[in-house]
Amino acid sequence: MNPYLKEYEWSNIAAMLRNNKAEPKQELEDLRGRLVVITGATSGIGYETAHLYASHGANVLMINRSKEKSELLKQELEDTHQIQCTYFLADFSHLKEIHAAAEMLVRLPTPIDVLIHNAGVYNTKLKFTDDAIEEVFQVNYLASFIITYRLMEKLKGQEKARIIYVNSEGHRFALAGLKLDDLRWQKQHYTGLKSYGSAKTAQLLSLFSFAKIFEGSAVTINAMHPGDVKTNMGENNGKLYRFFKHHMINPKS
């Protein structure tokens, strides 16, 4: 029996697929002079998000792994939308690079108007980072937590700021909840869906805590489920995953 079948319960499949149609596009306000920070912007949702905000005049600061892809996108955004675009290189599978990215943002002389946590990874096999942390948990949860935590005072001191987590209905795949006593998956059977669900559940729980911290300030913090979108994440993870990708929408939608 395929080890994924127990994870693809019908209720969870319905939750994942119910948003596989593009919503009507809504116009953004004039964002000229605003700064939008996006993690994982060189492809998929991050790429289209960068273009969307830039098309409304926002300056974009990207945090990406690839220098080559970042440079190409920087030129593309600046040439297409006549905005200012910069990037910072960081691989979130390394804690020191997460902290370096957070420190860079803290030291920015200008306000951060929008912070979008988009970077993510999906693995079907258990993999640990050099920091001895399960990779999906580190990239999909810890990175966004550390950056938001480090930016709390800066953002609360601004006139206005918004934080957006690209989360997922896939948090439902953490069927037994978030196992804080087994983050290294020594007691549980590891699957890509369960690890992804656990990381997204952790991200949601941290968001609720941050929302309480930001209460009374001009900082808003939200999570969103983008729907089932065809991205590069998990593209090498087998036939079943590729089958479901046929039912997903293009990120440009």
Residue 60, Ramachandran bin (φ over 0: left; ψ between -120 and 50: alpha; else beta): beta
198 contacts 48 by C-beta, under 8 angstroms: no
**Both tokens assigned to 22:** 């593009």
* H or E element in which residue 239 lies: helix 239-245
Is 190 known to be catalytic? Answer: no
Q: Where are the beta strands (DSSP E) in the chain?
A: 35-39, 59-64, 85-89, 114-117, 161-166, 219-224
Neighbours of 54 (CB within 10 A): 23
Report phi then psi at 37, rounded to 5.
-105, 130
* Residue of 53, 122, 141, 196 marked active site: 196
Positions marked active-site? 196
